[in-house]
Amino acid sequence: MSAARALLRTVRAAVWRPLVVGAVVVLTMWALGMRWSSAALVALAAATVVAVVQRVDGQPEPRPAPRHHRSHDGARGEVLDLAWSMVGRDGRVGERALRRLREAGARRVARHGLDLADPDQADALRDLLGARALATLTHRTHPLPGVGDLVHALDVLERLGPTRTHPAPPQDAPEPRSPR
């Protein structure tokens, strides 16, 4: 019995305001000289507006905070981000993905004491990366490489460890005297 009373209380709380407004509007419109049918129609519209306004929440919904993606240069996540940014069209990769692959490849190869932009180190780079990955990383003209070539280059770069396989180039000896 208490469930029925709770339901009746809820219905009464939701219905009494629109009914009162409808009754007041119909009596007012009839008193102003409107026909009963027209006054009832205006009262129904007023009761509907009251019912809708009663259900509407006055506070705006909070907006979700924007998500900021932080990428860490040289981290494993960099290679994964690059893998997700590939957009293949006709079996080819986009220029954006290829540019990011070159940047990541230059950093990974620099850990091993080599430079992708130096043509004198082409043999050492070919030994380190392989011919297919090196061709993908140094490709600058159209048609762009295929998605398979990009994936292969990503795999090769991911397999490169953080330790050097070639000795670091010798640095010049520092000056014995400070210029200051």
Per domain, the residue ranges of the chain are 8-54, 76-159
Mean pLDDT of the chain: 78
As a whole number, mean pLDDT of residues 12-29 equals: 88
114-148: b or e for each residue (b if 16 or more CB lie within 10 Å)?
bebeeeebeebbeebbeeebbebbebeeeebbebe
Number of Cβ within a 10 Å radius of residue 171: 6
What global pTM score does this model have? 0.45
pLDDT over 90 (residue 13):
no
C-alpha neighbours within 13 Å on the C-beta side of residue 154: 24
pLDDT, tens digit (0-9, with 9 covering 90-100), for 145-159: 888 888 888 888 888
Residue 89, helix vs strand vs coil: strand
Of 124, 122, 132, nearest to 152 by C-alpha is 132
